[in-house]
Homo-oligomer: A and B are copies of this chain.
Amino acid sequence: MSGSLVVVGTGPGRPELMTPATLAALARASDLVGYGPYLERVPNLRPGQRRHASDNRVELDRARLALSLAAEGREVAVVSGGDPGVFAMAAAVFEAVEQGDPGWRTLDIRIEPGVTAMLAAAAEVGAPLGGDFCAISLSDNLKSWATIERRLGAAADGDFVIALYNPASRARPHQLGKALDVLRARKKPDTPVLFVRAAGTADAQVAVETLATAKEGQADMRTLVIVGASTTRRVGRWVYTPRSERGAPS
């Protein structure tokens, strides 16, 4: 099969946070496939370039469309936000490859890394990911809530900083509250909890709370939540996690 497929991430939002490698991959593509709002971020880069916008709920269908176009010889870019390998389209593409036409395994498929949301969120508040950390998606569309609770518990047991992706949506308004309760049972009440909305955009907003004061209603679909480790702390107007488990070395 002669076509190609590249999966890219446009970063957290500001065009200045999209890598030049991603911009070049988008400019080369004959076809762009992606969720509508992500495609809208991509400027017109090549005359005649076709755009295939879809709904957010159909990642696997979108991946199959992209693979079919590549199999026809097109040069396809699948467009995610953030980094395409973190809770985004790259995994869906390989799921579709695994289940689909065996010929798809011979396609030229590449992934271009990008700036994922937790990095932009961390940068807005200081350096909360300065120690070991975990990333957990609270969406239970594709995994059970029991698995999510198990991972939250393990992350607390390991005293990791915890980045929570997809903390809330209209269909799942109460999962962040349940997740915070799991963490409250295992971590100190004064553990910092950061709500970073629209990180890496001109509209970024930060709220610094603790496990005692955080409320699930503070997060929406555009929010990334970071729960600190035992050492995460404020300094001045910033929040950071020292590299040392004992706090800042002298």
Contact = CB atoms under 8 A, between A and B. Distances in A.
Interface of A: 11-12, 14-21, 24, 59-60, 83-87, 90-95, 97-99, 105-106, 109-116, 119-120, 122-124, 126-137, 142-144, 147, 150-151, 153-155, 157-160, 200, 233, 235-238, 240-245, 248-250
Given A91-B130, A113-B200, A243 B12 contact: no
A110 to B, nearest CB: 8
Contacts of A160: 134, 151, 154-155
A129 to B, nearest CB: 5
Nearest to A91: B130
A34 to B, nearest CB: 16
A142 B250 CA distance: 11
Given A16-B24, A95-B242, 6 more contacts: A18-B19, A20-B20, A113-B115, A134-B160, A150-B159, A154-B160
A247 to B, nearest CB: 8
Contact of A131 (B60, B91, B115): B91
A123 B83 CA distance: 9
B126 A122 contact: no
B248 A119 contact: no
Contact of A85 (B91, B127, B158): B127
- Complex A-B, nearest 6 residue pairs according to Cβ-Cβ distance, in ascending order: A91-B130, A154-B158, A105-B236, A90-B127, A16-B21, A94-B240
B113 A123 contact: yes
Contact of A158 (B109, B130, B155, B236): B155
A237 B135 CA distance: 26
